[in-house]
Chain A
Amino acid sequence: MTDVTQPPGAAATLRRWWQRTSRPAEAAKRVQFDRPLLPWLFLMPQLAVIFVFFYWPSVQAITSSFYLEDPFGFGASFVGLDNYRDALGSAEYRRIAGFTALFTALVTALSLGLGLLFAVKADKVIRGRSTYRTALISVYAVAPPVAGLMGMMLFDQHIGPFVTLAAKFGWTMQVGINYWDTAFAMILVSVWKQVPYNFIFFLSGLQGIPASVREAAVIDCKNGFTRFRTAILPLLAPTAFFLLIINITYALFDTFAVIDVMVKDKPANNPITLVYKVYNDGFRGNDIGGSAAQSVILMVVVLVLTLVQFRWLERRVHYG
């Protein structure tokens, strides 16, 4: 995107950006309608919704992260970066951030791994193919809170088969009471919920590999696993990278419901993620400034992730 022939400078960059964005969209179509007002009419509903419910709240989150607000709503005083300092400086925040990182890494790795494994096998078999596919896809539509509820049952102290099974190995599993037992259950439920999504994308990625490439790979390489690693996996890399970002976002944000259902309003000694803390501090603790500062920190994390993804998307559009 950057034009290296121009000298660096804020004014020049701004001018270029303005020139680029204010001229008509380049060649979306060879022929286009020339009406000055009609496109605005078509865009108006979408823009209105976005401004009221996206830009306004986002700006508010950023402003209120610099204020210390009175919990009863009687006023706010400017405190600069204090909210950020408090958040990043607290041991609790860092502990939760650490758990979030671990949780995200495990959920992402396991659900990507299982999705890929099932996709490779489902791509191979012929008999029962559509049955396997339907079975593996169906859970996609299960809502995270429902998954959490079912997890609660499966890990229930009285009736949960997982607890009984663990007891046979001498593991007294206490989900909701023991920190790591709860974490284990949360991770398992979150992975279960996400495997179908990865499966769908890996399977369609595999089916997009031409038969001629596969045949060539078979001739070149006898060993099935080496063949997969050296010929098939590189071709799946774009899909895998796309999924990596999506899965990290999923583990960071969409698992909120799983966590909320499984800690049952008692986050005190249970594992929680950063998003849960934003919600908890804001709505329960009434610490609006602190919650906003944490939101902004998360926004930066997502921003970086998405920009990485966009860069990659762009590259694939150009060379793919």
Chain B
Amino acid sequence: MNRVRPFDHFVLILGTLFMVLPVAVAVMTSTHTAVEIHSHGLFLTPGGHGAETYATVLTRQGGFTGQVTGTRMMMNSLILGIGFAVGKIVLSMAAAYALVYFRFRFASFLFWIIFTTLLLPLEVRIMPSYQVMSDLGLLNSYTGLIVPLLASATGTFYFRQFFKSVPDELLEAARIDGAGPFKFLIDVLIPLSRTMMAAIFIIMFVYGWNQYLWPMLMTTEERFFTLMRGIKQILQVWVGSQIPDYNEAFALAILALAPPVLVVVVFQRWFIKGLTESDK
């Protein structure tokens, strides 16, 4: 009925090139030396210096204190990504469980208290948030990096929607069998939510890993720098240098984009399901 024309493929191929070519160029160019890049421009073919560039980026001790290496930044990004995703799942699952499965006063008032946080992104309250963190003495700590980002209701929203779709009969049956709230949560609800948890984990991991503004403000000590902070750093070094380290900048960009892109591509199905079924 709907005949596919060559034009359709043409549009899709153009689209694919538009999306993927910049990444491909970054990967290829990162395997050439800075001098080659400076004289020739960007590359679409692999060069022979990839191993040493990546080794340099990962192990060279940079910054003023010599405390920060690419590996260190990657570790910090990983801690932020995983810590944020796990924290989000634990907090929001507990909150959604209370909101959906318990009868208590002020439930819908609390619902609105929590969901109001969807209204305002961190960026608009960034100054006072920073102030609060500094008053609490949480600057330059992993707690300060992760916990404030948890103050939004996205995860609670996902889990609430999901719990509401779980059949009521399960709770009835569990109660007849004498299961209390903890037993029901651990033995019935958590096993049922595994796919949902995986989807949320992927979305939140990508979100945490990709954070820029907050880590930039929170971490003045170099040992807490994430890869995103490193990217800012490498661009600042550029100003005034004769031949900027293009190769290292590209290598850093690849290190920063590879883990979340791989996670999304490999777990595509879960990720899309999680994203589209709960409308964010």
Contacts and interface: CB of A to CB of B under 8 A. Distances in A.
B174 to A, nearest CB: 10
A29 B234 CA distance: 53
Interface string A131-164: 0111111111111111001101110101111001
A58 B261 CA distance: 33
Interface stretch (B45-53, B58-66, B118-126, B191-199): B118-126
A257 B213 contact: yes
Contacts of A30: 168
A43 B18 contact: no
Given A117-B11, A126-B4, A135-B16, A159 B42 contact: yes
A278 B124 contact: yes
Contacts of A144: 210, 212
Contact of B210 (A46, A141, A152): A141
A264 interface: yes
Given A124-B4, A132-B16, A146-B231, A153 B101 contact: no
A24 B131 contact: no
Contacts of A292: 127-128
Interface string B195-238: 00000000000100110110001000000000010011011101
A292 B130 CA distance: 12
A114 B128 contact: no
Contact of A60 (B15, B128, B164, B265): B128
Interface residues of B, number: 105
A272 B77 CA distance: 27
B23 to A, nearest CB: 7
B125 A135 contact: no
Interface residues of A, number: 107
B143 to A, nearest CB: 11
Given A118-B15, A146-B256, A29 B131 contact: no
Interface string A189-214: 00010011000110010000000001
Contact of B105 (A23, A29, A32): A23
A42 B94 contact: yes
A124 B103 CA distance: 48
A145 B228 contact: yes
A35 B2 contact: no
A149 B246 CA distance: 10
Interface in A20-37: 20-26, 28-36
Contacts of A164: 41
Contact of A46 (B8, B91, B128, B132): B91
B261 A25 contact: no
Nearest to B238: A264
A235 to B, nearest CB: 15
Contact of A49 (B91, B125, B164, B275): B91
Interface string B240-270: 0000001001101100110011011100100
Interface of A: 20-26, 28-36, 38-43, 45-47, 49-50, 52-54, 56-58, 60-61, 64, 114, 117-118, 121-122, 124-128, 132-146, 149-150, 152-154, 156, 158-161, 164, 192, 195-196, 200-201, 204, 214-215, 218, 242, 246, 249, 253, 256-257, 260-261, 264-265, 275, 278-279, 282-283, 288, 291-292, 295, 298-299, 302-303, 306-307, 313
- Pick the 3 closest A-B CB pairs, nearest first: A143-B210, A141-B260, A21-B109
22 contacts: A21-B109, A35-B102, A38-B98, A42-B98, A47-B113, A53-B132, A53-B151, A54-B120, A54-B152, A57-B125, A57-B129, A118-B15, A124-B8, A139-B23, A143-B212, A153-B29, A192-B22, A204-B272, A253-B124, A275-B124, A295-B124, A303-B120
Given A50-B113, A158-B38, 5 more contacts: A24-B108, A32-B103, A43-B94, A49-B150, A160-B42
Interface of B: 1-2, 4, 8-9, 11-12, 15-16, 18-20, 22-23, 25-26, 29, 37-38, 41-42, 90-92, 94-95, 97-114, 117-121, 123-132, 136, 147-148, 150-153, 156, 164, 168, 171-172, 175, 181, 206, 209-210, 212-213, 217, 228, 231-232, 234-236, 238-239, 246, 249-250, 252-253, 256-257, 260-261, 263-265, 268, 272, 275-276, 279-280
